[in-house]
């Protein structure tokens, strides 16, 4: 399962990504915003999506104007490893090395076609599970649980 969410600035990019992934028969669920509302807050969608990703061991895609707000908010949720990616190679490496489970995108700074390629790279990449990457992720998990 892949969850997707956006604020008003990412709304049009989200709609296009939903169309493309539906054509590929990818199981994706929109957590909002379901209609464009200029006064919405990216934080609400980041928290909703991040919680679902952690609770269901799923993947997520978040889109806002710069991608920065979403990545900050999503990474506040224990178990989320969100990464802002601006090119397909970065998305691939973020999955392979860091095992990100939430991809954050910029609607304002990255063209729609490039965002679609970034999404494809994200969903088609796999964590390498190399010892050094596992060690680093485990340090993050240890820190998260030691601060409960």
Instruction: Measure Cα distances from 65 to 55, 69, 93 in Å.
Output: 27, 8, 23
In this predicted structure, what is the pLDDT of residue 104? 98
For 54, residues 6+ apart whose C-beta sits below 8 A from its C-beta are 77, 78, 79, 80, 101
Question: Where is pLDDT greater, at 123 or 24?
Answer: 123
Domain ranges across the chain: 2-146
Q: What b/e readout covers 19-44, taking b as 16+ CB neighbours within 10 angstroms?
A: ebbeeeeeebebbbbeeeeeebebbe
The verdict on pTM exceeding 0.85 is yes
Question: How do residues 131-147 score in pLDDT, each as one tens digit?
Answer: 999 999 999 999 999 86
Does the pLDDT at position 103 exceed 70? yes
Architecture of domain 2-146: 3-Layer(aba) Sandwich (3.40)
Which residues does 123 contact at the CB level (< 8 Å), separation at least 6?
Answer: 2, 21, 26, 59
Mean confidence (pLDDT) of the chain: 96
pLDDT number for residue 141: 93
């Amino acid at each position: 399962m892949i969850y997707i969410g956006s604020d008003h600035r990412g709304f049009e990019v989200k709609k296009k990504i939903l169309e493309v992934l539906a054509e590929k028969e990818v199981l994706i669920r929109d957590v909002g915003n379901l209609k464009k509302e200029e006064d919405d807050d990216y934080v609400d969608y980041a928290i909703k999506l991040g919680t679902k990703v952690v609770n269901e061991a799923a993947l997520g895609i978040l889109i806002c104007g710069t991608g920065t707000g979403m990545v900050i908010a999503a990474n506040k949720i224990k178990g989320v490893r969100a990464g802002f990616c601006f090119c397909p190679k970065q998305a691939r490496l973020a999955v392979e090395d860091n095992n990100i489970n939430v991809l954050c995108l910029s609607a304002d700074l990255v063209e729609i076609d490039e965002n679609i390629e970034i999404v494809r790279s994200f969903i088609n990449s796999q964590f390498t599970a190399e010892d050094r990457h596992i060690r680093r992720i485990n340090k993050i998990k240890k820190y998260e649980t030691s601060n409960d």
